[in-house]
Amino acid sequence: MCKFHALLQTVAEIKFHGGKAVPNFDSVEYGHKIIETAITHFGRVDVIVNNAGIVLDKSFQNMSDDDWDLVYRTHVKGSYSVTKAAWPFFKKQGYGRIIFTSSNSAIYGNFGQANYAAAKNALIGLSHTLAIEGSRYGIQSNVVIPTASSRLTAQLFLEESLRVLKAEYVVPLVVYLGHESCQETGKVFEAGAGWFGQIQAYRSKGIVLPAANAEAIADNWIAITDMTSAKHFDSIKEVIVDLLKCAEEKTESETRWELENKKDEYMEVLKIIAEALNQKKDGSLTSCFMFMFILTDGVDVYSVTMPFGENHVSGQRESICIIVMHCDIFEQILKGQIITKKVIKPGTMVIIGDISEDDVVESINQLARSMKPKL
């Protein structure tokens, strides 16, 4: 049966049972025409069920751009187009119900359905966002994930399974979500074979790892992926608040460096290094010197810039020395430990500019030798 015959049959069945229905043969990509038909014949639109879809299953390697685009246009662009056209009417009347049909392929993936799974997942994100934006206007948006036989899935199930997975068994959930008594919005529900349930996303408790590197991630993988104390969040705001709370609760032992709290102490130490390097610059080139020091623990960054000399000659740049140093090396200096040129390597210490590495190391070690034990 072609889709036009199926459409007319649906209209006939609705009328037979005492309902009102009119056919519309436009593609869902032209959603404004579908909504125009509804407004012309019924005067308003209250509920949208974005159920149009196709499947063009192929392995990802064999999938063409056309296979991808057609599925995406039908599911995503079609749902967007119809909903977009109805949105002004929903806002004006202060009421609207939107239901998107998604798929378990969007949740779990399915071989040969990269296009279909991506499109159906997009509808979940779209629904969540419309639920947020529509809340002030009485507009609700939800997702239904059905497992049911249809023209798209009839070939996937055995005959005995088709009797259990009738599409009619999903209908009550869709009817309820479209009813004015239902106050749910921004949710994902699943239905099939007479079973109904809700799907939610959960996030593990996780772990705070200041200055983490790939090795730290690997070492703490069990804690990162442990779902024992997993949480569900209803909004991005809740996620961010929880994330910041976790960061604030990290103990002193978890954070070796509180850079901002030691700014004054660092300034005194860095000033000594900068003044020593200023004396080592080639004075025949320029009397101006720019010292920049960047201290990092992999995440937090503390930086300071110190200029020397005021008699800048036009067209002549100042001498420059830029040092990027890991906190571990700076800690050695504060403890009076001597460093060598071996520490000058990516991730530990980098020197750029007009001052030689030997002069930088010598100046830093002079400071280290003079440091008091309490520092």
Q: What is the DSSP string of 286-316?
A: -S-EEEEEEEESSS-EEEEEEEE-S-PPTT-
Are the C-beta atoms of 198 and 229 separated by less than 8 Å?
no
Sort residue 189 into left (φ over 0), alpha (ψ -120 to 50) or beta.
beta
Query: Cα angle vertex 46, ends 12, 15, to 5°?
Result: 15
Angle at which helices 65-72 and 114-134 cross, to 10°: 30
In 3D space, the residue among 311, 305, 315, 299 whose CA is nearest the CA of residue 274 turns out to be: 305
- Alpha helix stretches (DSSP H) within the chain: 3-16, 31-42, 65-72, 78-93, 104-108, 114-134, 159-164, 171-177, 214-219, 221-225, 236-248, 263-280, 327-334, 357-370
Give me the long-range contacts of 120-125 (CB less than 8 A, separation at least 24): 120/75, 122/72, 122/75, 122/76, 123/50, 123/75, 123/76, 123/79, 124/100, 124/188
Helix, strand or coil for residue 362?
helix
CA torsion through residues 168, 172, 24, 116, sign: negative
Which of 116, 137, 202, 302 is flagged as catalytic?
A: 116
CB 297 within 8 A of CB 211: yes
Rounded to the nearest 10 degrees, the angle between the axes of helix 263-280 and helix 357-370 is 130
Half-sphere exposure of 211 (CA within 13 A, CB side): 17
Half-sphere exposure for 185 (CA within 13 Å, toward CB): 22
- Among the listed residues 48, 10, 23, the one whose alpha carbon sits nearest the alpha carbon of residue 168: 10
Task: Name the residue type at position 339.
Answer: I
Told to judge if 95 belongs to the known catalytic residues of this protein, a careful annotator would answer no
Q: How far is CA 228 from CA 184, 206, 223, in A?
A: 28, 10, 10
Positions marked catalytic: 116
